[in-house]
Amino acid sequence: MSNNLHRAIKLYKEEPKMNEGTKNILKQAGFGEQVDRVNAGLCPLCRKPVNISDFEGDIEGLKEFRISGMCKDCQFEAFEKKEIEENKDVTGNEQFEVK
């Protein structure tokens, strides 16, 4: 098996985990409720249950899930919209790069 396949299998088998130091820092910064939601298997933003199988075939989304615990919908809201905004010119029109 390739290294990428091994990494993908490992990612799919593991639930998001935060070490105690990270949990403490986030709680001290005022994100205690969000940490508790992730530990309960919920998205820290929308509070919906998140299952690892929701990320089947989406390695980048799965990586983010392992880091933040966010569901696919919240990831899209947080990252895709930002990318779209970054691609707009000063008039607000979306710009596309031709490759």
Could you tell me the residue ranges of all domains in the chain?
3-86
List of long-range contacts for 41-49, beta carbons under 8 Å, 24+ apart: 41/15, 42/69, 43/69, 43/70, 43/71, 43/73, 43/74, 44/68, 44/69, 44/70, 45/70, 45/71, 45/74, 45/77, 45/78, 46/71, 46/73, 46/74, 48/73
Q: Which residues contact 79 (CB under 8 A, 6 or more apart)?
A: 64
Q: What tokens were used for 32?
A: 């205690």
Instruction: Convert the pLDDT of each residue in 6-27 to its tens digit.
Output: 666 565 556 556 678 888 898 9
Query: So what's the pLDDT on residue 81?
Result: 60
Query: So what's the pLDDT on residue 57?
Result: 84
**In the beta sheet, which residues pair with residue 42?**
49
Instruction: Convert the pLDDT of each residue in 41-76 to its tens digit.
Output: 899 999 999 988 888 888 888 888 888 889 999 999
Query: So what's the pLDDT on residue 4?
Result: 63
Instruction: Convert the pLDDT of each residue in 30-42 to its tens digit.
Output: 999 999 998 898 9
Residue 73 to residue 94: CA distance in whole angstroms: 22
